[in-house]
Amino acid sequence: MTTARLLGYWREELPELDPRRTVSAEQAAAYEQLRERGRRWPDARAFVDPTWRDDERSIVVEYLRVGSLVVQYWGLSPCRFCGRHNGSAELSDGVFCWPEGLAHYVESHEVRLPEEFVESVVSACATRGRLPAPAFDHLGQRERVWPGAEFEALLWVPDPPVDEQGPDLERDPTWWLHEAALIEGPRDRELT
């Protein structure tokens, strides 16, 4: 099974539940769990590095933008620095998994990513050359036509099981979710 390491997920401080709202004890507990989960992520401001070389940072930004789409969420994520809409997708290269807006943090706010990731990106780009970049709409979301069939060979896609007695992949997407590291259990939970 392939697992992807999470990269670029940041702390989110949700407000306390308004005491004037009438909610059940279960709803209040669920909201508190959400608040606690948001506080467990690292603070993006701790990774700002204005000394990071522009040429290397540009390569990383380009690489982050052309990741393979893993999942598209309904809500937009706000930038933790400037508040702009920062996309709603999760992208991957088959080794790392990151939110769509991570390129914005690197490009606009000089957030430096772990050296292991940077070295992997620079090495991959040196052997593969420049890749076409996707288009983004006015909300900062990736256009739905990206990546398009012409880029299929560049994207990581898990191979379906060869066992004929395996799951019906048309009706049960669980196997694909595991392979794309979407289910929380198989994900590597090291934070950057």
Kindly report, residue by residue over 74-116, the tens digit of the pLDDT. 878 889 999 898 888 889 888 889 999 999 999 999 999 999 9
- Give a yes or no: residue 82 inside a domain: yes
- Give a yes or no: residue 175 inside a domain: no
Domain tally, the chain = 1
Q: What is the pTM of this model?
A: 0.62
- Give a yes or no: residue 68 inside a domain: yes
What are the distances in angstroms from CA 74 to CA 60, 71, 77, 110, 187? 26, 10, 10, 27, 21
**Model confidence at 133: pLDDT above 70:** no
Range of the domain at 131: 5-10+45-144
For 7, list phi and psi in degrees, rounded to 5: -150, 130
At residue 52, the pLDDT reads 94
Of residues 108 and 182, the one with the higher pLDDT is 108
Q: Taking the CA atoms of the chain, what radius of gyration do you get in angstroms? A: 18
For 174, list phi and psi in degrees, rounded to 5: -55, -45
At residue 71, the pLDDT reads 84
- Give a yes or no: residue 73 inside a domain: yes
**Model confidence at 22: pLDDT above 70:** yes
